[in-house]
Structure 1
Amino acid sequence: MTSSGYLAFSPPQGWHDFWHGPIGEWILTKGLRITLLLISAVLAARFINWAAMRVTRRLEEGFQTGENLVRTEASKHRQAVASVISWVSIVLLFVVVAMQITNILDVPVGSLVAPAAVLGAALGFGAQKLVQDLLAGFFIITEKQYGFGDLVQVNMLGAPDAAEGTVEEVTLRVTKLRTSDGEVFTVPNGNIVRSLNMSKDWARAVVDIPIPVTADLNRVNEVLQEVGGAATEDRMLKDLLLDQPSLMGVESIGLDNVNLRMVARTLPGKQFEAGRRLRVLVVRALGKAGVVTPTESTPVVEGLPHTARSSERSGG
């Protein structure tokens, strides 16, 4: 009796009964199909990410090996579009997989209409911000407002200060900016009310030069014109400038100083680097011309003698 009972409930027989029972048949049919679908979806999502990263890497290598100092607008746009396409493709992939799993499980779609309507209404109220972010991101990318590598400044709802930095990633939902200090801002696209692109097509370096009111402005203008003409031959500036810097003239007048402004068109995003180098050339040229002397802290190009200035102040 014990031997027959042992044989009746032996592990091989129990294993056979399990796989031929309802649970085992479900695992071998529907369960296996669901598992294969999920594995295929994960592999497909990895392939999409790999393809997007390959496209991004190719664009990056093309920029680094090329002679251009800045990325073209087309390259920036392609990189943003590649990121968005990969994200949308993954979302659609998992939606299709979820629908296939629903069909395998024989879930009656008709019975889900009423709960889905209630759930959709609830999610609709809660997902308004998400939809706003997605729509804003769609228009940012299609209108080419900015792309990867652009130097931008964005104003956001509820934020007292604007966020400024280099665009590291643009998706339908967020924009990531890296500041000059290395910090990363993640800005929801729906929060952006104004964007300022400082590296689109071309930029402008603006240099303000304070000159004392006693200086000979004609002589100063001559020196600055010479600086503008020589700037295109400077080894650090010639590749950054799109044309010769020009002197705009007197920008403002103060009690002690007159501010002259010099501007120059530069490659996109290179206006700050060009402005710093241009200031060095201006200071060097003014020093050689005697505008700045070692004994005085303010420029004095052919200014009035010290005694004359003293008498004028005492007389005034």
Structure 2
Amino acid sequence: MNLVIYYLIQLWSLLVNHGLPLAALLIVAILIPRIGRLAVRVISQRFDSAEEATKGRLALLGALVYVLEAIAFFVVVMLALANLGVPATSAAIPATVVSAAIGFGAQNVIKDFVAGFFIISERQFGVGDYVSFDGPSSAVEGTVVALTLRATRIRTPAGETVMVPNGSAGVVTNYSQEWSRAVVDIEIPLQPGESMDHLTEKVRAAAHRAVQDPQVAGDITGDLDVLPAMKLVQPLAAGQPWAITFRTTVTVVPARQWAAERAIRSAIVNTFWDRFNVSDLSSAVSSVLDGSTPPSPIADKTSRLPQADPDAPTELYPAASPHTPGDLDTDPDTGA
């Protein structure tokens, strides 16, 4: 009976001295990432999303929380070892060997951490920027939704979430840092007797109407520039007019250049809609669809050829007799 009481006392002692502290440390380890995400959410709500500096602050906040989580996990592990009676000096040598093995096998992870440090310190891009990464097969582009020291999480225009390791980001194109520029290149056919100044004024008037639209007027931050005669396009067929390439540029707020480009392009196309022979193309397509297309000369000649009677019997022709060497003409002098 005394032996049973002794073992129960020892079990209670182990539970109180080791079980409860280790369980508390395990709960703390589970709560560490959740507390980090909550801190990021609360602090990010205090930032003004309209400011350019907010992108860098969010990236720095994510990296800082990531480092604090790593330190907290390290402290939890050391406290667990101390509770189990493992001194720090005794664990130093195994920890060194394990860390060396992990470092040798995790070179890419270390590379990602170093690249992430430079991305954040140099402010190459931040949370909310629209960027493009050179992937192994094709470019990956989208909006940055999270940035840590190890990887960058972006959301593509199709709604897909892509994790890009910072060490393999390659060449990064940032479309929304500080300011952006809308650039529209369009070819306009030149009518007979029309001057370049008159055509340029019509393009400028159409572009001005586009940037004054309420949907894009708030995004315009600079003056509108119309650059005529960027390129002369020679007609591909006789009877077609020459075309002149115009370039229209305007400075807009970050990541709003595509909306301005669509508005300017639509306004210019609506102004010169009658010059693109849309009516001729539409009539040609409609005639093909309703079967009223006139027959081509080749088809007309083919239709006048005599047609074979499908009920007529098959006629066999005699095969030509093969030539023999004696049938060939020879030269009496040379024998050739």
What is the distance in 2 between the residues matched to 1:24 and 1:122? 39
| Map of 1:95 onto structure 2 | 74
Unaligned runs of 5+ in 1: 1-7, 64-70, 298-316
**Shift of residue 143 of structure 1?**
1.3
Written as runs of structure 1 = structure 2, the 5 A alignment for 1:253-268 is 253-256=232-235, 257-268=243-254
| Map of 1:179 onto structure 2 | 156
Q: Is the 8 A contact 1:228 1:246 kept in 2?
A: no
Q: Does 1:51 align with 2:39?
A: yes
| Map of 1:19 onto structure 2 | 8
Q: 1:185 to 1:36 in 2, by over 3 A?
A: closer
**Shift of residue 293 of structure 1?**
6.6
What is the distance in 2 between the residues matched to 1:286 and 1:214? 11
TM-score, structure 2 as length reference: 0.73
The more displaced of 191-200 and 227-236 is 227-236
| Map of 2:172 onto structure 1 | 195
Give SS of 1:48's match.
Answer: helix
Q: 1:111 to 1:278 in 2, by over 3 A?
A: same
Written as runs of structure 1 = structure 2, the 5 A alignment for 1:230-249 is 230-249=209-228
Q: Is the 8 A contact 1:231 1:245 kept in 2?
A: no
Give SS of 1:236's match.
Answer: helix
What is the distance in 1 between the residues matched to 2:263 and 2:209? 12
Paired amino acid for 1:186: M
Paired amino acid for 1:19: L
> How much is the aligned-residue C-alpha RMSD, in angstroms?
2.4
What is the distance in 2 between the residues matched to 1:85 and 1:227? 50
TM-score, structure 1 as length reference: 0.78
Q: Is the 8 A contact 1:247 1:262 kept in 2?
A: yes
| Map of 1:309 onto structure 2 | none
What is the distance in 1 between the residues matched to 2:34 and 2:255? 34
| Map of 1:308 onto structure 2 | none
**Shift of residue 233 of structure 1?**
2.6
Q: Does 1:218 align with 2:207?
A: no
What is the distance in 2 between the residues matched to 1:206 and 1:232? 13
Q: Is the 8 A contact 2:229 2:245 kept in 1?
A: yes
| Map of 1:36 onto structure 2 | 24
| Map of 1:137 onto structure 2 | 116
Unaligned runs of 5+ in 2: 236-242, 282-336
Paired amino acid for 2:44: T
Match among 248, 253, 265 for residue 279 of structure 1: 265
Task: Report percent identity of matched pairs.
Answer: 31
Q: 1:242 to 1:252 in 2, by over 3 A?
A: same
**Shift of residue 90 of structure 1?**
1.5
**Shift of residue 89 of structure 1?**
1.5
What is the distance in 1 between the residues matched to 2:137 and 2:232? 32
Residues matched between the structures, number: 272
Residues 176-211 of structure 1: CA deviation (Å, up to 9, x unaligned): 121111122211000012111000111111111112
What is the distance in 2 between the residues matched to 1:263 and 1:180? 24
Q: 1:92 to 1:125 in 2, by over 3 A?
A: same
Q: 1:274 to 1:232 in 2, by over 3 A?
A: closer
Paired amino acid for 1:50: L
**Shift of residue 285 of structure 1?**
2.8
What is the distance in 2 between the residues matched to 1:44 and 1:104? 20
What is the distance in 1 between the residues matched to 2:224 and 2:8? 83
Give SS of 1:20's match.
Answer: helix
**Shift of residue 164 of structure 1?**
1.0
